């Protein structure tokens, strides 16, 4: 069965949205097969976000992702990679569709910083790589 990595980012954990996010995953029929709380290091984030490491927003992303604990989950199900991306919604909270996690719960502070609650793997290959990094 396919697996994906879901991260509830520090804004989601700090705002008490862990249960809300996990409930949405479970209500969709996916199975949480592993779960833990982690504090990310810059080194781990550099590996996780390797495609963004050289981008201008990377320092802000590291600050955001190290601002508190993260809840990491391995989620299993049929076409779960696509499915959890779909439940997550598009990157920018302002543009993410209502009904998605980011559309319903994410925040844009208007300062260039966005808080979009979750990460989810974008392909089965990314999922395998990211699960190995976080678990």
Active-site annotation, residues: 119
* Binding track over 61-80 against ligand GDP, x by CB under 6 A: x-------------------
Q: How far apart, in whole angstroms, are the C-alpha atoms of residue 68 and residue 83?
A: 27
Binding mask of the shown chain, residues 75 to 114, with x at each position contacting ligand GDP by CB under 6 A? ----------------x--------------------xxx
Task: Please count the CA atoms within 13 angstroms of the CA of 17 that sit on its side-chain side.
Answer: 21
Has 116 been labeled as part of a binding site?
Answer: yes
CB of 26 to ligand GDP, least distance (A): 21
123 binds ligand GDP (CB under 6 A): no
Q: Which of 93, 119, 127, 130 binds ligand GDP (CB under 6 A)?
A: 119
135 is in an annotated binding site: no
Tell me whether residue 110 or residue 112 sits nearer to ligand GDP (CB atom): 112
Secondary structure class of 70 (helix, strand, coil): strand
CA distances from 4 to 28, 68, 72 (A): 14, 22, 11
Residue 24 in marked binding region: no
Whether 111 and 97 have beta carbons less than 8 Å apart is answered as no
Q: Is 100 annotated as a binding residue?
A: no
CA dist., res. 84 & res. 13, Å (int): 18
Q: Which of 60, 82, 104, 108 binds ligand GDP (CB under 6 A)?
A: 60
Contacts of residue 77, Cβ cutoff 8 Å, sequence gap at least 6: 1, 2, 28, 29, 30, 31, 83
How many residues bind to ligand GDP according to rule CB under 6 A?
11
């Amino acid at each position: 069965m396919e697996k994906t990595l879901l991260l509830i980012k520090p804004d989601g954990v700090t705002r008490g949205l862990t249960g809300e996010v996990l409930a949405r995953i479970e209500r969709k029929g996916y199975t949480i097969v592993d779960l833990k709380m982690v504090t990310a290091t810059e080194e781990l984030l550099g590996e996780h976000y390797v495609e963004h490491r050289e981008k201008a927003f990377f320092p802000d992303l590291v600050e955001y992702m190290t601002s508190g604990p993260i809840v990491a989950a391995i989620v299993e199900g049929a076409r779960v990679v696509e499915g959890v991306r779909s439940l997550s919604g598009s990157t920018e909270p302002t543009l993410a569709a209502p009904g998605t996690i980011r559309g319903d719960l994410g925040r844009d502070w208007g300062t260039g910083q966005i808080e979009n609650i979750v990460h989810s793997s974008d392909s089965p290959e990314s999922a395998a790589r990211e699960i190995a990094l976080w678990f």
